[in-house]
Chains A and B, each alone.
Chain A
């Protein structure tokens, strides 16, 4: 934090000694722009719209990702998902933008679909791996102690929980990562729109405000999910 403040101070001083021109904003200009957006309530609206999109897209992607990950780990008919998931895994979620535009049209649904796809890819692999990594010794110990098939599934679920929750957190991070690109397509409000406004309105400070908002929102999400994970897996 201190290093960051020092860098900002150096940037400010250097910018005042050697003015960089209108396309490179000084930290003070970014702070002033952020303050004006805050005062007007505009920043809050942008953050809220993006947060809702991430919550919906990330939530759907994580939910479906956990279910498909469980099916993959369970084997049997669940293995049907194996090949499609393996083939789709290396494809960046942004590559699906044209298809989601065709399927969902221009609008909120398409943006949420992109975020859901980004989250899904991470969570499905993380869930499958977390379940696959449950030590056989715990499952055998449970069976040896007389646990039924259902109780052994409970053991597997408990043992995999930290890994699954970690992959959900990674999935939400991925959703924040692709948010700007998703909002570039058609959004009128959101942090991606703020970032884009730097170019459209020739207000480079606004791009920095949007980027800082993204970093803060993604960081807050990561912190909240880490806290939830800590609460649910106090034993780990």
Chain B
């Protein structure tokens, strides 16, 4: 379980030296195995929250806990995937996917091969990132994260830069792999439709400093159709656009 209690994080703007609070007393709980989507305006502190959960950054105050243990460092148990896939350009797609396994001394070519097939990358395993499309690069990034079987997958607008068709197929792929893995997923997105299609629960956060202004549980069966739940959509939009 993820528990965020009274978390504050303030940044100092380089140009003006002004203190900018990204999070101020933020509260959130995510159950083990839950798929949570966070909706909010740009620059509201959503990414800061994910970086705190991943251990990339430290809170100024408050508690960030995963399974009862405070988050104090980066760990492969909590994998962060961003809009920039940050693939290693000197490694092929297959080598990128296998990087985490190799780094942990658990090289597993069969698993890498299976992930390549599962993520629609069969035949592209020998290509370098610059030889892949944006959608394929994002598939590699997601496969690389899932290869190490994390307990928590933190997704920071991972499909934000993709075209509509790639986005659609990535959403289906994410849903299928999440259902199979049982990992806890926290997805930050700008898309209400994406949140409603994928998440068990959607929370809406306010402009900076972020605080939760509303939350809905999405109970319908999977796989869900795009554009379903018009009533939930309306509620979410009501919170998102005051």
The judgment on whether A and B are partners is yes
A138 with B88: CB separation less than 8 A: yes
A235 with B86: CB separation less than 8 A: no
Cα–Cα distance between A236 and B88 once the two chains are bound (Å): 10
Cα–Cα distance between A140 and B84 once the two chains are bound (Å): 13
A141 with B148: CB separation less than 8 A: no
CB of B48 to closest CB in A, whole Å:
15
B148 with A145: CB separation less than 8 A: yes
CB of A104 to closest CB in B, whole Å:
40
Residues of chain A within 8 A (CB-CB) of B128 are: 234-235
A144 with B104: CB separation less than 8 A: no
Q: A146-B100, A148-B103 are in contact. Are A141 and B90 (CB under 8 A)?
A: no
**Is B188 on the interface with A (CB-CB < 8 A)?**
no
Instruction: Tell me how many residue pairs across A and B have CB atoms closer than 8 Å.
Output: 60
Q: A137-B84, A151-B103, A235-B128 are in contact. Are A144 and B90 (CB under 8 A)?
A: no
**Is B76 on the interface with A (CB-CB < 8 A)?**
yes
**Is B130 on the interface with A (CB-CB < 8 A)?**
yes
**Is B35 on the interface with A (CB-CB < 8 A)?**
no
**Is B56 on the interface with A (CB-CB < 8 A)?**
yes
Residues of chain B within 8 A (CB-CB) of A142 are: 88, 99, 103
**Is A147 on the interface with B (CB-CB < 8 A)?**
yes
CB of B87 to closest CB in A, whole Å:
8
Residues of chain B within 8 A (CB-CB) of A146 are: 75-76, 100, 103-104, 148
Cα–Cα distance between A159 and B87 once the two chains are bound (Å): 11
**Is A28 on the interface with B (CB-CB < 8 A)?**
no
Residues of chain A within 8 A (CB-CB) of B76 are: 144-146
**Is B82 on the interface with A (CB-CB < 8 A)?**
yes
Cα–Cα distance between A173 and B89 once the two chains are bound (Å): 28
Q: For residue A147, which residue of chain B has the nearest CB?
A: B103
Cα–Cα distance between A138 and B155 once the two chains are bound (Å): 16
Cα–Cα distance between A158 and B104 once the two chains are bound (Å): 19
**Is B144 on the interface with A (CB-CB < 8 A)?**
yes
Residues of chain A within 8 A (CB-CB) of B144 are: 145
Residues of chain A within 8 A (CB-CB) of B54 are: 144
Residues of chain A within 8 A (CB-CB) of B84 are: 137
**Is B80 on the interface with A (CB-CB < 8 A)?**
yes
**Is B79 on the interface with A (CB-CB < 8 A)?**
yes
**Is B172 on the interface with A (CB-CB < 8 A)?**
no
**Is B61 on the interface with A (CB-CB < 8 A)?**
no
Q: A144-B80, A145-B144, A145-B148 are in contact. Are A158 and B88 (CB under 8 A)?
A: yes
CB of A145 to closest CB in B, whole Å:
3
Contact with A145, one of B82, B99, B129 (Cβ below 8 angstroms):
B99
Q: Residues of A with Cβ closer than 8 Å to B?
A: 135, 137-138, 140-148, 151, 155, 158-159, 161, 233-236
* Additional 13 contacts, C-beta under 8 A, given A137-B86, A144-B78, A235-B90: A137-B82, A140-B56, A142-B88, A142-B99, A144-B76, A145-B79, A145-B99, A145-B100, A146-B75, A147-B99, A155-B88, A158-B88, A236-B89
